[in-house]
Amino acid sequence: MYNRDRWLYPIVITSDNNSWRVTDDGTSYTATIPAGTYYAYESVAEITGYPRLYTALYDQMGLNQDIQPFAGTPSLSNLQVNGGLQFIGSSNAAFSFDFNHVDWTFPPQYIGFAADQATSVSSSASGVLTAPYTPYGIWDSFDPARSKIGFTSRKMARATEDVERSDAYEVSWGSRLLREVVYRYVPAAHVHGARALQADHASTGELALGDIYQGFDLLWNSLAKLDTILILHGGQGSLDAENAEWEAVRLFDSSQAESFGNVARLMSMGGEFYELVLTLVRLEGSYTQ
């Protein structure tokens, strides 16, 4: 029996979108995150080759103010238990994220706010701030996978189709592990993110109206470009990828890269539910089933 999975797709930080401005207990600070490609998790130790976005945020904010991100239940999408972020300051004093300041260039959706958030947001008096939505960069499966079958595939060529001939031979370039992952009856807002702009689809998907970042189509955009994706098998609701059963994968089936329709197949018009089917190639990881 599987548990719900968490998928992480790469987030690119450049000099154009790497700056924060935080006001903590009345004093304002600017934090700058090093440019690079990150994944949306936080762990004591990094998975080599997959930099930690939330750790980078904490490291830079910690230079002046000790505000740390934790897994939390979004304040608006509150049925997505631990599907969002909560920021807690160690000083037990109020702080704010100054989205309205020129020094804030970091995309708000990367931490669970609307992309067009343009006003300052304050924590509670005791220094707790909960983001309203699920963040960009993470896709949590709505239900456990129906199957996650791994199988060995050989890279080979045969000199003849007539294998019974005495001069038949083959050339092999080794093998790899492929995995077919299947999710069934996935609500439309967890497949097409824009469906969460419609009240009925958002409700069916247990999301707040406007929480568009649980759409699998965002993840598919990375898969289709041969980006490396991290799957935390059974890791929904956790920011700790290092201690999860993780796996780095890429999309194997070229037809699934060509069309999202070859990944997301409509199962039911009533409520609009989909089946997601992906054939992936395993690169590395602690998950070996």
Average pLDDT of 165-194? 85
Confidence of residue 45 (pLDDT cuts 50, 70, 90): confident
264 compared with 31, residue with greater pLDDT: 264
**pLDDT tens-place string over residues 248-273:** 999 999 999 999 999 999 998 788 99
- Residue 140's H or E segment, with its range, is strand 138-140
Of residues 118 and 242, the one with the higher pLDDT is 118
Single-letter residue type at 284? E
pLDDT above 60: residue 64: no
pLDDT band at residue 201 under the 50/70/90 scheme: very high
Please report, for residues 52, 63, 65, 216, 259, the alpha-carbon distance to residue 59 in angstroms, rounded to integers and kept in the order given. Answer: 10, 7, 10, 30, 39
pLDDT at 242: 77
120 burial (CB, 10 Å; 0-12 / 13-18 / 19+) is: middle
- The answer, yes or no, to whether residue 167 has pLDDT greater than 80, is no
pLDDT in tens, 125-148: 999 999 999 999 999 999 999 999
**pTM (two decimals):** 0.92
